[in-house]
Structures are given as C-alpha cells and as structure tokens.
Amino acid sequence: MSKGTILISGASAGLGAEMARQFAALGYDLALCARRVDRMEALREEITAAHPGRRVELRALDVTDADAVFSVFGDLADAFGGMDRVIVNAGLGKGAALGTGRHDANRRTAETNFMGALAQTEAAMGIFRAQGHGHLVLISSMSALRGMRRSMTVYAATKAGVSAIAEGLRAERVPGLDVSVVHPGYIRTGMNERVEQRTRFMVDTVPGVRSMVAAIERRRVKAYVPAWPWVPIGFAMRVLPLSVVSRLA
C-alpha cells in the first residue's frame, strides 16, 4: 500500500534521483519529471526492481517552459488522482562573475532556478488549493543565506528568492498546506563536482539526501542539512562579516 504520491522535478540525476530512491523505499509512489527521460527510465527500472509495488510515472520537462510545467504537473496529478507532496528541486549551477561576458550562463541559471521554481510553485499550489491539502517542498541552498561572490552570485540570489517564496506562502497560511524549505550544504552531485577538491564540508550523496528526506518527512518549516556542520555554519553565516562568509563558498 502506498503512503502517498510525491512529485519530484529534476529527478534524472543528483539530489532528485536519490530522493526518488529513498522515498520509494519509504513506500511512496513517484511522479518524476526532468529533461533527460532516458536517465529517468533507468531510474524507474532500478526503483521498481527494488520495490515491485511502487508506481513510478515519468514525464519530460524543462522547467523554464512555464506552459509545460503547468501541463505536466496537471497531467501527473490527474494520473494519480491527486498529489500529496511536490518537491521543487530542478536547478542549475552554472554561472560567472558579473560583468565577465557570461550573461548567458547567469540568465539561464536565473531562469531555471527562480522562474522555473516560480512556475512549479504556481502549478503545485493550483493542485493543492483545488484538493484542499498538500505539502510543498522547495529545495534552496545554504548559499541563499548571504550574498556570494564570483560564479556563485547569481546562483545564491536565485536560491534566496526560492526561500522567500516559501516564507511568503507560510505567511499566507493556506488551509491544508504545509510548506518546507530545505537548505542543503555541500552534498556530492554532478553539479558541484568542480568544488569537491576544495571544500572541507562535502558529504556523499546517499547520507546527504537521507538528511533531506528526514527533514521533509518531518515537514520541517526550514532545514539546514546535514545538520552537522550546517546548522552552526548557518548561524555563523548570518552574523559574520561578509568578508568572512565569502570564504565559505
């Protein structure tokens, strides 16, 4: 018997794919969407082989296409007869220092991480308002807590925007709605493999995502994950001078 249905965007790799594995193991049916359908098909085969009772629906989706977001989310909700939880996870880590000729990379990051998250939130909220309940989860970043330098500037700004969307919805107090925002620290994925050699705080994908899943299952309003060392680092980031904070990125 299913514990419920979870929609996860950006589910073809990284945090999204591992969340799919772990939520399936907990007993959830899955609605997965991403641009790379072949990878999701392989993931579905893996999940259904390990958990034969799980239902896994796949849809191709580029979250920068707002019309497609509404169409895919609505189609998946119809396919399952509703949606219990939506995890807005799809993201992009490309970027460059402002003024260095890479506006294309910064724009793409902003379109994916913020405008894409906005479209997904709108689509999810339409479903949740209509059915009278739901759990919206937005995946932000520890970088959202302060402004970041160089190639991280736009990425951090988009994630700060995602966190603000979550806070605004919590302030609205929509009946039947739970809203969580998760701030992952350095969890090993393809997106951050370039920084792996120069950070002291990187954790492997499986335990890192396990901490995310635990926070989501508890419907935490806000979570810094993994709790160690990111809870104390998060406190420090809010109070230390910007010159010190910038060395953490």
Q: Structural domain boundaries of the chain?
A: 5-248
pTM for this predicted structure: 0.93
Beta bridge partners of 203: 187
Catalytic, 224? Answer no
**Residue 131, CA distances (Å) to 17, 19, 118, 175 in order:** 27, 25, 20, 11
* Sequential pLDDT tens for the chain (249 residues): 889 999 999 999 999 999 999 999 999 999 999 999 999 999 999 999 999 999 999 999 999 999 999 999 999 999 999 999 999 999 998 889 999 999 999 999 999 999 999 999 999 999 999 999 999 999 999 988 888 888 889 999 999 999 999 999 999 999 999 999 999 998 987 655 555 445 567 899 999 999 999 999 999 999 999 888 888 887 878 777 777 766 665
Gyration radius (Cα) of the chain, Å: 17
Please tell us whether the domain made up of 5-248 is placed in CATH 3.40.50.720.
Answer: yes
User: CA 24 to CA 83: how far, in whole Å?
Assistant: 15
User: CA 24 to CA 31: how far, in whole Å?
Assistant: 11
Q: Which of 28, 155, 186, 224 is catalytic?
A: 155
Helix ranges (H only) for 27-115 are 37-50, 66-80, 103-110
